[in-house]
Amino acid sequence: MVEVMRYFELFAIPVDYNIDLVIVNKHYLELQRAVHPDRHANASSRDKLMAVQSAAEINDALQILKHPVKRAEYMLSELGVDIRAEQQTLQDPAFLMQQMELREELEELTSASDPDTAIANFEKQIKQLNEQYSAQLAQQLASNDEQQYQAAADNVRKLKFVYKLRDELERIEDSLFDD
């Protein structure tokens, strides 16, 4: 059985929600150079296979560490918190109401009298929510407290909503301005 890689340790960075992506990318390139299959061209079949597997695991680790939501999910899973969204629903009525209002606002962007301003205002709201939930998440993940980890799981779910809104906004922008 392959041992689960500890991504922060692998990339030689502190276990923290807030990471320096420049350092992560630098370590990624170093790691990939070390395990690149071409470096193992004269090695045994087993060693070649291990190099390919290591390169794939390093790629997976990079994808998780680069993406804030995936990074938070990974950190929570390493802390033993199961956050599979299918089994857990968000029990925050104020947040759910806010999401409904934001969705309505998003749908109205296409018919706004000044779509540029409406989109800019909507982007600002999404950015503020992203910053708010990310800041809370960083504190919760650093807390060393089980209740805070559960709150962090809710913030991950909230960030997923925010990311979906951002993706839908991009789709709307593309449809409005590609004509």
Query: For residue 81, what are the contacts with CB-CB under 8 A and spacing of at least 6?
Result: 149, 150, 152, 153
* Structural domains of the chain, with CATH: 7-66 (1.10.287.110), 93-177 (1.20.1280.20)
Q: Where are the alpha helices (DSSP H) in the chain?
A: 7-10, 21-35, 45-66, 68-78, 93-108, 115-141, 146-177
User: In this predicted model, what pLDDT tens digit does every residue of 110-164 receive, in sequence order?
Assistant: 899 998 999 999 999 999 999 999 999 999 999 989 999 999 999 999 999 999 9
Whole-prediction pTM value? Answer: 0.84
Planar angle of CA 77, 82, 85, nearest 5 degrees:
115
Mean pLDDT of the residues in the chain: 88
Query: pLDDT tens, 39-64?
Result: 877 888 888 888 888 989 999 999 99
Tell me what pLDDT residue 1 has.
28
- Higher pLDDT among residues 15 and 89, named by residue: 15
